[in-house]
Amino acid sequence: MKEGLILWVFVFAGPIAWFLTLEGNFAFSTQVCTGAWSYAPAIISSLAVIATATAGMILWTRFRHMRQAQSSTSKVYQIVAVAGAMLSATFVVVIIAESIPIMMMQNCK
C-alpha cells in the first residue's frame, strides 16, 4: 500500500507544479515591472520544470525496478508508474509552453 501511495504522489506532482506555476506567475504579474521581481516568472517556471521532470524520472526508475520484481500487484503499479512518467513528460512540455509568452511579454514599457 505504501508503494502505491508514493507512486500516486509522484503522478500528481506534474499537474500540481503546473497549477502552482499558473498561480505564482499570476501573483507576480503586477510586480514584474519592478526591478526586484523581474525574474520571478522565470524562476517559478524553472522550478516547476525541474520538479516535474524529477517526478517523471523517479516514476520511470520505479517502473524499471518493479519490472524486475515480478509480483501480481507489481503489474498494476507498473501501469501507474508508466502513465505517471508520460503525464510528467506532458506537463514539462505544458509548463515550458506556458512560460514562453510570459517571458516574451516582459516589456513593461
Q: pLDDT tens digits, residue range 7-48?
A: 889 999 999 999 999 998 888 877 777 777 778 888 999 999
Residues 42-75 have pLDDT tens digits of 899 999 999 999 999 999 998 888 888 776 667 8
Residue 36: strand, helix, or coil: coil
**21 within some domain:** yes
Give the chain's end-to-end CA distance (angstroms, integer).
55
Q: How many domains does the chain have?
A: 1
Q: Is residue 86 part of a domain?
A: yes
pLDDT value for 106: 65
Is residue 109 one of the residues assigned to a domain? no
Q: Residue 32 sits in which domain range?
A: 2-104
Please check whether residue 78 lies inside any domain of the structure. yes
50, 65, 85, 47 alpha-carbon torsion, rounded to 10°: -10
